[in-house]
Structure 1
Amino acid sequence: MRRSLLALALSFAALPAFAAMQAKPVEWTVGKDRFSGYVVYDDASTAKRPGLVMVPNWMGVTDDAVARAKAVAGADYVVLVADVYGKGSQPANAGEAGKLAGGLRGDNRSALRARIDAAVATLKTQAGSAPLDAEKIGAFGFCFGGSTVLELARSGAELAGVVSLHGGLAPGAKSATAAAVKTPLLVLNGADDKAVPDSDIVAFEQEMDGAGADWQFVDFSGAVHCFAEPSAGSDPASNCRYDERAARRAYRMMADFFRERFAL
């Protein structure tokens, strides 16, 4: 398992080619709204493997997100690249992305929770067409996607584990955290991320302790927002900046976290 997740950390700019890697489009609905994403896996083997729902950053399901999912999946996972905006609602720029994400991560996050729950359910339904063990499901996400997967835990969903990479931590004021958080959490945070103040960190830790959660929180010194995403660039004045050192360590930690949770 480690080889697949570490491949991403060690070679972001030029992702390795997987000759048998599949990225199959899939659609699902939540009420009257339709969503679309990709189921990614290596079909060189029919051996069943755990599944991971991946929620990209606020730009949604892009070619870069699918490439990242392929690197994470390797031969060890089936990954669903999950859309939470809705089919046809792909943002064209950061301004549009901010509006779409902001509309979902406000005080009332019931719509966001319903959409990420549906993505998990959709991944499980792929067991008949992909080499998936539907009893072993986890989730991870980047930035807005990290905030989204934390809502799975807050809602009381029970997964093997969720990992947030530089995601926002503040809860929705009108979306209560379950009395018991059943999903283990790994939160990977940039210590210098201006979007995540110390007050949010303290409040998150208190929130998770109050719900009896199994959680880990890791700060990476010098890292800011987007530190695990090479597409963020390296502008030293930006709070959204790739940090190769922090990214390598973060992906190793995520690899170990899921390996333990799936008993691999």
Structure 2
Amino acid sequence: MNRYTLLVGAVIGFSSQAAVVTEPLTYQVDGQEFKGYLAFDDSLASPVPGVLVVHEWWGQNDYVRLRAEMLAELGYVALALDMYGDGKQTGHPEEAGAFAKASLASLPLAERRFNAAREVLAGHPRVAGSPIAAVGYCYGGGVVLHMARSGAPLAAVASFHGSLTPKADPLPAGSNIRIAVFNGAADPMVPGEQVAAFRQEMDAAQADYLLVNYPGALHAFTNPDADRVAAEFNIPVGYNQAADQDSWRRLQDFLQDSFE
């Protein structure tokens, strides 16, 4: 049991009945190897919906794998994908920022990386034609919103403390993808004008969306390790237990409604 399980698991709780199986998997994109992490409840009958989980800018680490396991506890097949390649990850914000910037320098390449993981999940026998959603944290939140805007074949996306500014075109009118955003109202990386512009974009597209702003919550509010990162690197992030719990509860309802 790692530190994330101890902290987040104690806050949110897990079902003692689930038989969650996890396995690493590799897949290829443009000749490069990518490393995913699959989690599912082996006791459930298949097929069931799938959920892609996109990591923070740190890369595909223990935290995003834990979130995949938590989604498996809810009865989904979850795949924590790799947007950097070779399972690359870091604990330093400067290197993380460089990784994130490089991965988004070519949006078509970033889309291919995401869609390759989606195809892996869609082709898994435990998913087999069931709908797929995507959940992203920080960097990953911006990625899943971009994929929603670009028309990726997803039932829904949910962003936790991610950028709300379009990386290319805004969400087109008539899009039927469901969108949920969980944002820290005190997050300086997502200022109020960005939130207001996102609302205008969603309203203009007549989107089916949910936007929750948590008063006092900073960037990375779902990650218990954020307080250590803030102290070590002097950056404005922080864990918020109340926002973490509430956003996870709302995500469960959101996914259930999206998969009906």
In which range does the TM-score fall when normalised by the shorter chain? 0.7 to 0.9
What's 1:59 paired with? 58
Aligned identity (percent) is 34
What's 2:225 paired with? 231
Q: 1:23·1:38 contact (CA, 8 Å) conserved in 2?
A: yes
Please tell me the root mean square deviation across aligned C-alpha atoms, in Å: 2.5
Q: How far apart in 2 are the matches of 1:89 and 1:9?
A: 24
Q: 2:159·2:181 contact (CA, 8 Å) conserved in 1?
A: yes
Shift of 1:147: 0.8
Q: How far apart in 2 are the matches of 1:112 and 1:164?
A: 17
Q: Name the stretch that deviates more: 234-243 or 59-68.
A: 234-243
Query: Which one of the candidate residues 241, 245, 259 is aligned to 2:238?
Result: 241
Shift of 1:51: 0.6
Q: 1:155·1:178 contact (CA, 8 Å) conserved in 2?
A: yes
Q: Superposition pairs for residues 83-232 of structure 1, below 5 Å?
A: 83-87=82-86, 89-105=88-104, 109-127=107-125, 131-172=126-167, 175-177=168-170, 179-180=172-173, 181-232=175-226
What's 1:262 paired with? 259
What's 2:79 paired with? 80
Q: How far apart in 2 are the matches of 1:62 and 1:12?
A: 20
Q: 2:8·2:224 contact (CA, 8 Å) conserved in 1?
A: no
Q: Name the stretch that deviates more: 225-234 or 245-254.
A: 225-234
- The 4+ residue runs of structure 1 with deviation greater than 6 A are 13-19
Q: 1:51·1:134 contact (CA, 8 Å) conserved in 2?
A: no
Secondary structure at 2:211 match in 1: strand
Aligned AA for 1:164?
Answer: S
Unaligned 5+ residue runs, structure 1? 1-7
With CA pairs under 8 Å and 6+ residues apart, which has the higher RCO, 1 or 2?
1
Deviation digits for residues 83-124 of structure 1 (CA, Å, limit 9, x no counterpart): 000115333522211101122345x52222221122111111
Aligned AA for 1:123?
Answer: L
TM-score (structure 2 length as normaliser): 0.86
Secondary structure at 2:225 match in 1: helix
Unaligned 5+ residue runs, structure 2? 1-6
Aligned AA for 2:184?
Answer: G
Deviation digits for residues 21-46 of structure 1 (CA, Å, limit 9, x no counterpart): 22111122222222111111121233
Q: 2:50·2:133 contact (CA, 8 Å) conserved in 1?
A: yes
Aligned length in residues: 250
Q: How far apart in 1 are the matches of 2:74 and 2:161?
A: 26
Change (3 A) 1:75 1:252: closer
